[in-house]
A and B are shown apart, each in its own frame.
Chain A
Amino acid sequence: MAISVLAVIVLVLVVVTLAAAVKSVPQGYEWTQERFGRYQRTLKPGLNLIFPYIDRIGRRVNIMEQVLDVQSQEIITKDNAQVTVDGVMFYQVLDAAKASYEVGNLNQAMLNLTMTNIRTVMGSMDLDELLSQRDSINTRLLRVVDEATEPWGVKITRIEIKDIKPPADLVASMGRQMKAERDKRAVILEAEGLRQAAILRAEGQKQSEILNAEGLRQAAFLAAEARERQAQAEAEATRMVSLAIDAGSVQAINYFVAQKYIDALGQLATSSNQKTLILPLETVGVLGSIQGIAELAAAASGQKR
């Protein structure tokens, strides 16, 4: 009977021992094994046996890539703007032993390191740079934090700044600045258009005036030429008349004058204006000219004789 009790106790001991010795590590984790509290080795995923009683499982380390949210914090930029920034970081434990024993609280350590470095990097930039150069901020952050976490067996694969929120009044000012910028451009464009139009109009005016003047000049030239021609013709006619007089006698002229004279008289007589006052002409003159005609006729007949 006693031996049976002993056997039961032994069996229980065996079962407990097995429970302590057989460790199956799930994929994506690595467990550290401690012998009397001292780190011994790292258990890989799968079925593992450890020495019962003297070995313990120390830390269960997640070796998958993980995401940590960097909570939002207030940052003062180089040009004294206060912005609220938050971010996200991705990291992976590459050395389970180092991540377990080289650093007390890995997540907290990494978060604090990242947050202080975000302050450092962003504090050295002004607001416009901050909003436009996220890429370089991420790169600088990653570099610093990654180097700092090397001794902890951790690889920081990515740090991204998620949101940069300037205070509301600053955002409003930025909006106003943007609007003013656009307005300025619009006004400048309008003025430019007006200027161009005015220039074009003036050009047109100038051209038309030039053309006008040219027309007038040509016309004047032509008119002068015409006068010249007329004068020449008159001179020619006068010369011919004087030649004719030279060849004949003065009476020829008298004939012409008389003819005109009488024509004029006839016109005055047929004038519809009855009030026309006919000044008495020198009848003698008229008769004289008639006489001249008679003399002409006589001379002509005399010559015939």
Chain B
Amino acid sequence: MDWPTLSHVAPWHWWALAAVLLILEVLVPGVFLVWLGIAAAVLGLLVALLPLGVPLQLLLFGALSVVSILVGRRVLARLPHSAEADQLNRGAARLIGRTVVLTEPIRHGQGRARVGDGVWPVQGADAPAGSTVRIVAVQGTTLLVRPDGAAEALSPDRAGGSEFR
């Protein structure tokens, strides 16, 4: 039974740590211990293969954690995810492409249209009440429309990208 000290850490210590981290990940909410666990497991492999000092091991552990997150995000982004997930909680964006009928005329670019059983504020070219328009984009709670027939879709609102790309 050799406990890890500041002068000696065996590969199996890292693997034990990896297992403990993964167990904690399941028990404790918040998805970030899994990356440390992956880093610990990889480091255990490195320590088994290469002679490394304890301080270096510790620094490597930190570095590997960061790397594992960055790599992990890439891998996750590549993995196919279900189309249903994209359809959930899209707010007003789910309405893009629908044709709706104006309840109030669009004057000075502002009007209202009936969507489902509710009425939404719309913005677009002036049009009389009762005319049909197509929703092309969404700004908060306002729908951007254009007369039906001119179905040239605008790009939907900005995608929230990451700063780490």
A positions within 8 Å CB-CB of B: 1, 3-8, 10-11, 13-15, 18-19, 21-22, 24, 27-28, 41-45, 47-51, 63-64, 92-95, 98, 142-143, 146-147, 150, 153-155, 157-158
Distance in angstroms from B84 CB to nearest chain A CB is: 11
Q: How far is the CA of A94 from the CA of B163 in the complex (A)?
A: 24
Contacting pair A7 B140 (CB below 8 A): no
29 chain-A/chain-B pairs, Cβ below 8 angstroms: A1-B6, A4-B6, A4-B7, A4-B58, A7-B55, A11-B59, A11-B62, A14-B63, A18-B65, A22-B35, A27-B85, A28-B89, A41-B160, A42-B160, A47-B73, A47-B76, A48-B162, A49-B73, A49-B163, A49-B164, A63-B89, A94-B140, A95-B140, A147-B121, A150-B121, A150-B140, A150-B141, A154-B141, A155-B120
B32 contacts which chain A residues (CB < 8 A)? 18-19, 22, 24
Whether B46 sits at the interface, judged by CB under 8 Å, is no
Distance in angstroms from A20 CB to nearest chain B CB is: 9
Contact mask B12-28 → A, CB, 8 Å, 1/0?
00000000000000000
A63 contacts which chain B residues (CB < 8 A)? 89, 91
Contacting pair A4 B55 (CB below 8 A): yes
Distance in angstroms from A47 CB to nearest chain B CB is: 6
Q: How far is the CA of A94 from the CA of B96 in the complex (A)?
A: 14
Whether B71 sits at the interface, judged by CB under 8 Å, is no
Distance in angstroms from A59 CB to nearest chain B CB is: 15
Contact of A11 among B31, B58, B88, B140 (CB under 8 A): B58
Smallest CB gap from A35: residue in B: B163
Smallest CB gap from B140: residue in A: A95
Within 8 A of A (CB), among B7-66: 7, 30-32, 35-36, 54-56, 58-59, 61-63, 65-66
Contact of B91 among A41, A45, A94 (CB under 8 A): A94
Smallest CB gap from A51: residue in B: B163
Contacting pair B76 A7 (CB below 8 A): no
Smallest CB gap from A62: residue in B: B89
Q: How far is the CA of A5 from the CA of B69 in the complex (A)?
A: 25
Q: How far is the CA of A231 from the CA of B71 in the complex (A)?
A: 145
What total of chain B residues lie within 8 Å of the partner, measured CB to CB?
38
Q: How far is the CA of A8 from the CA of B4 in the complex (A)?
A: 13
Smallest CB gap from B161: residue in A: A41
Q: How far is the CA of A33 from the CA of B69 in the complex (A)?
A: 20
Contact of A94 among B7, B55, B92 (CB under 8 A): B92
Query: Given A4-B58, A7-B56, 7 other A-B contacts at CB below 8 A?
Result: A4-B54, A11-B61, A11-B62, A14-B66, A15-B36, A49-B73, A150-B142
Q: How far is the CA of A126 from the CA of B57 in the complex (A)?
A: 81
Q: How far is the CA of A64 from the CA of B118 in the complex (A)?
A: 17
Contact of B92 among A13, A42, A44, A155 (CB under 8 A): A155
Distance in angstroms from A200 CB to nearest chain B CB is: 57
Known A18-B36, A19-B32, A150-B141; judge A7-B66 contact (CB<8 A): no
Contact mask B112-155 → A, CB, 8 Å, 1/0?
00000111110000000000000000101110000000000000
Contacting pair B36 A10 (CB below 8 A): no
B66 contacts which chain A residues (CB < 8 A)? 14, 18
Contacting pair B141 A95 (CB below 8 A): yes
B91 contacts which chain A residues (CB < 8 A)? 63, 92-95
Which among A49, A92, A154 has the highest number of chain B CB atoms within 10 Å? Answer: A49
Contacting pair A155 B141 (CB below 8 A): yes
A51 contacts which chain B residues (CB < 8 A)? 163
Contacting pair A98 B140 (CB below 8 A): yes
B35 contacts which chain A residues (CB < 8 A)? 18, 22
Q: How far is the CA of A293 from the CA of B31 in the complex (A)?
A: 165
Distance in angstroms from B164 CB to nearest chain A CB is: 5
Smallest CB gap from A95: residue in B: B140
Contacting pair A8 B58 (CB below 8 A): yes
Q: How far is the CA of A143 from the CA of B112 in the complex (A)?
A: 11
